[in-house]
Structure 1
Amino acid sequence: MKNVKWLAIPMSMLLLAACGNDDEKVKDKPKDAPTEQNESTTDNNATTNNGTTDNADNNANNNAVSNANASFDFTHFSLDVDYSETKSFEVEYENEQSGVEASIEDDINGDNSYGDEAYERLEPIFQSFKFGASTPEDEVITEVLNVFNLRDDYTELELEIRFTDGTEKEYHNRK
């Protein structure tokens, strides 16, 4: 009986971890938002009888057109701005084939939102961004702070962006 008790705790934790956090899921996924492609898609090239490759190449072309017309130029956006040990501003956005997740955790104003509510707040902000993968780091940081209306007296800023062309950028600034 004692062994059963010791197994119950780890099994419960495993079950909870497998459930994930559905609070951040966006239920009304925007049709024109760029989606990160599943890596297995590019490995599924099928050759037809006439020797041409279809499926993966066609999907890649369709996705490139779709992403070119998208609202914003990234599929992942993670921002963490620390002002003190207890005050920070965090944004998480990820759009994958499995779904969209969005969250805003604003310890400064005590204003947190998740899922559809967070996405509705983030969409116009993301659409206003003018930077791209080749924009210098200081310009990206300045624009992000300005658009989110954040003070520049932070102690640390971390920003990770995965652009639709596959470029991943990490911006880090500590004061």
Structure 2
Amino acid sequence: MKLLSITFFLLLLLTTGCNNVNNQSGEQTQNEPSPESISYQQINENRPFNFNRFELEVDYVDRMSYHIDYVNLENRKEARIDDFDRQKVTGEEAFNQLAPQLREMSFDQDTPEDEVINEVLTVLGLEAPYKEFKLEVTYQDGTVVNYED
């Protein structure tokens, strides 16, 4: 379990470390967002993922759990991660950690439940021997689907 936590932390560290770009040309550039980058402020206007809400809870033995909340509704936007070490990350920092992973998820409301569960576990780097898996997704069209295992 410690190996999973360390691997997840290193993956997050690597992901955030790769986002540092040095401008060595000496020219000033405008701060225009690239087509691939999404800021926390933009998520209300942009619907960057195929869902508006993503609530995941994976429980393991020994009271270990991993919880993600991502909400992007007209009047409310938030992101939160509760990881195995009981550390909480919220707001823009949580969104910045989740965005690359959520963008990688390609399932929709018609995808079979077992494929959704496998994709979520793989993309987030979570291991399969869990006690309980619960995922509630609200898709862009308003369809709410619960995935449980």
Amino acid at match of 2:56: L
Amino acid at match of 2:111: T
Equivalent residue of 2:40, what SS? coil
Is contact 1:29–1:99 with CA below 8 Å preserved after alignment?
Answer: no
Amino acid at match of 2:131: T
Instruction: Choose the corresponding residue for 1:71, options 42, 45, 48.
Output: 48
Structure 2, unmatched stretches of 5+, are: 1-38
1:115 aligned to 2:91? Answer: yes
Instruction: Choose the corresponding residue for 1:142, options 95, 110, 118.
Output: 118
> Closer, same or farther in 2 for the Cα pair 1:29/1:75, shift >3 Å?
same
Is contact 2:69–2:79 with CA below 8 Å preserved after alignment?
Answer: yes
1:160 aligned to 2:136? Answer: yes
Amino acid at match of 2:144: E
Amino acid at match of 2:49: F
How many Å separate the matches in 2 of 1:141 and 1:148? 11
Runs of 4+ in 1 over 3 A off after TM superposition: none
Instruction: Choose the corresponding residue for 2:63, options 86, 91, 97.
Output: 86
How many Å separate the matches in 2 of 1:95 and 1:121? 16
Is contact 2:54–2:69 with CA below 8 Å preserved after alignment?
Answer: yes
TM-score, normalization by structure 1 = 0.59
Task: Identify which range, 90-99 or 118-127, moves more after superposition.
Answer: 90-99
Structure 1, unmatched stretches of 5+, are: 1-27, 36-65
Find the structure with the greater CA-based Rg: 1
The number of residue pairs the alignment matches comes to 111
- The structure that is helix-richer by fraction is 1
How many Å separate the matches in 2 of 1:111 and 1:153? 22
